[in-house]
């Protein structure tokens, strides 16, 4: 029995050893897997902890660097804006200077034309005298006297001479517009005086005189004509 038992046991040793070796390998693999898993979990926890941590506190040095950078950028933007403003201002000054030169040239040319237009200036001076007499007559309700100064229509010689002067000395659209207003008002004045309509005559006279005064101011003839 003992031999049989010993033999049986010996015969079982290879299978037991094989089983033990297999179990040992399985345990070894299992331990390795557990270690690797724990290491992975630990690493993931470390990463999660690192990502969830708040940013480092702002130190005085970092704050100073940030403030200096911001201030420098602000100065750069300001300098750029000032440079652009200076360029635009210089352009505006050049345009203004050019405009002044052109205006001065036009005034000199106009003065030259006026100085050489003695006949036209005389016609306009006669208009000033006539308007003065007509105004006094209308103010005194003496429309017959006003009619004798104006004439029966705008087709008289003195009106034609005045329009020749207007056409020669008018350049700008504003000046020509005032000429049209004067002629229209003068026609109304002559018609009102002929109809013996005092109120309409007064209104037409004021409109005529006002348009002529504006025209002389635009053309620079104010100082050339007496009685204005």
The reported pLDDT for the residue numbered 66 is 54
User: pLDDT tens digits, the chain, 228 residues: what are they?
Assistant: 444 444 443 444 344 344 444 444 443 444 444 455 445 545 544 544 444 445 555 565 555 555 555 555 555 666 667 666 767 666 677 888 877 876 666 665 666 667 667 899 999 999 999 999 999 999 999 999 999 999 999 999 999 999 999 999 998 999 999 999 999 999 999 999 999 999 999 999 999 999 999 999 999 888 888 887
Cα distances from 221 to residues 123, 178, 179, 225, in angstroms, run 13, 14, 14, 6
Residue 226 is predicted with a pLDDT of 86
- Specify the pLDDT at position 95: 82
Q: Which pLDDT value is given to residue 97?
A: 80
Residue 197 is predicted with a pLDDT of 96
pLDDT at 166: 96
- Which residue is listed with tokens 């350049």? 171
Q: Residue 12 has what pLDDT?
A: 43
pLDDT of residue 136: 96
The domain limits of the chain are: 63-116, 119-219
Here the tokens at position 83 are 């440079």
Instruction: Let me know if 3 is exposed, middle or buried by CB neighbors in 10 A (0-12, 13-18, 19+).
Output: exposed
- DSSP 3-state assignment of 228? coil
Q: What is the pLDDT of residue 80?
A: 63
Task: Identify whether the C-beta of residue 132 lies closer than 8 Å to the C-beta of residue 227.
Answer: yes
- Domain 119-219 matching CATH 3.40.640.10: the answer reads no
Whole-prediction pTM: 0.55
């Amino acid at each position: 029995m003992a031999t049989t038992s010993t033999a049986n046991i010996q015969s079982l040793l290879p299978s037991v050893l094989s089983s033990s070796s297999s179990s040992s390998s399985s345990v070894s693999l299992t331990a390795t897997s557990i270690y690797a898993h724990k290491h992975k979990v630990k690493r993931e926890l470390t990463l999660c902890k690192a990502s969830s941590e708040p940013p480092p506190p702002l130190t005085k040095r970092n704050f100073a660097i940030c403030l200096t950078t911001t201030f420098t950028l602000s100065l750069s933007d300001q300098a750029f804006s000032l440079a652009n403003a200076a360029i635009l201002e210089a352009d505006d000054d050049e345009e203004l200077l050019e405009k002044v030169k052109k205006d001065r040239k036009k005034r000199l040319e106009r003065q030259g034309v006026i100085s050489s237009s003695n006949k036209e200036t005389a016609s306009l001076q006669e208009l000033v005298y006539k308007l003065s007499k007509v105004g006094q007559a209308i103010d005194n309700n003496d429309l017959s006297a006003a009619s004798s100064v104006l004439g029966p229509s705008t087709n008289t010689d003195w009106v034609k001479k005045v329009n020749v002067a207007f056409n020669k000395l008018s350049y700008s659209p504003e000046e020509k517009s005032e000429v049209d207003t004067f002629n229209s008002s003068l026609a109304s004045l002559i018609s009102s005086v002929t109809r013996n309509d005092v109120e309409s005559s007064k209104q037409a006279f004021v409109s005529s005189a006002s348009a002529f005064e504006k025209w002389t101011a635009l053309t620079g003839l104010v100082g050339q004509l007496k009685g204005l």
